[in-house]
Amino acid sequence: MRTFKIIMLCMLSVFISQTADAKKYKWNYDRSVEVYTTGQGANRTQIVKSWAVAGNADKAIIQAKMDAVSAALFKGIPFDASTHGMGVSNLHPLVSPEQYKENETFFNDFFKKGTFLNYVHEVNSMYPTGENNMKVPGGRRVGVNLVVDYPGLRNLLKELGIGKGLDGYFKN
């Protein structure tokens, strides 16, 4: 009987740990984001600087990644004024407000389940320091340089029938 209880406790702990590992991310379509484009990367990816505030630096980095993908999809990304626009232009949003409303469930799941992380990567392997990781009321304000996979996002939207590809802009 004692062995049975131990086995049941082990199985229960495995089940609980598996459900705990399924992260849920907080996302809001109307959230104000601070993201700027700083250049173009390989294969038409976009290099951006994203700022976010959260309870700790790790959470702020995740929020900055989420904000970068959210801006790419719904808000567009302006160029960074510090580059003075040299070779960098504003990036238009990939999804219109109407397309968001029609596919709201998909986008909510896309962000809340963490799928967005497949389309954004950190440029630097080092942890943000100095002015890129400052204590502020509410936690830490972190700025990270990221690569946003615009072609990957476009392909995903095209596969789902949400956005028209570039060819849609040139056909009558």
Does some domain include residue 82?
A: yes
Q: What pLDDT tens digit does each residue of the chain (172 aa) get?
A: 555 444 444 444 444 434 334 568 888 888 889 999 888 888 889 999 999 999 999 999 999 999 999 999 999 988 876 655 555 678 889 999 999 999 999 999 999 999 999 999 999 878 898 999 999 998 999 999 999 999 999 999 999 998 654 444 433 3
Give the C-alpha separation, 12 to 64, whole Å.
35
Does some domain include residue 38?
A: yes
Does some domain include residue 137?
A: yes
Does some domain include residue 114?
A: yes
Give the C-alpha separation, 147 to 118, whole Å.
11
Does some domain include residue 39?
A: yes
| pTM given for the model | 0.79
Does some domain include residue 3?
A: no
Does some domain include residue 141?
A: yes
Domain that holds residue 46: 33-170
Q: What is the pLDDT of residues 41-63, one digit of tens each?
A: 888 899 999 999 999 999 999 99
Select from 145, 134, 147 the least CA-distant residue to 53: 134
Question: Taking the C-alpha atoms of 25, 31, 32 and 38 in order, what is their torsion angle to the nearest 10 degrees?
Answer: 40
Does some domain include residue 22?
A: no
Total domains present in the chain: 1
Give the C-alpha separation, 141 to 139, whole Å.
7
Q: Are 38 and 145 in contact (CB under 8 A)?
A: yes
Ordered DSSP codes for the chain: -HHHHHHHHHHHHHHHHHHHHS------TT---EEEEEEE-GGG-EEEEEEEEESSHHHHHHHHHHHHHHIIIII-BPBPGGGTTTT--PBPPSS-HHHHHHTHHHHHHHHHTTGGGGGEEES-SSPP-GGGEEEETTEEEEEEEEEE-HHHHHHHHHHHTSS--THHHH--
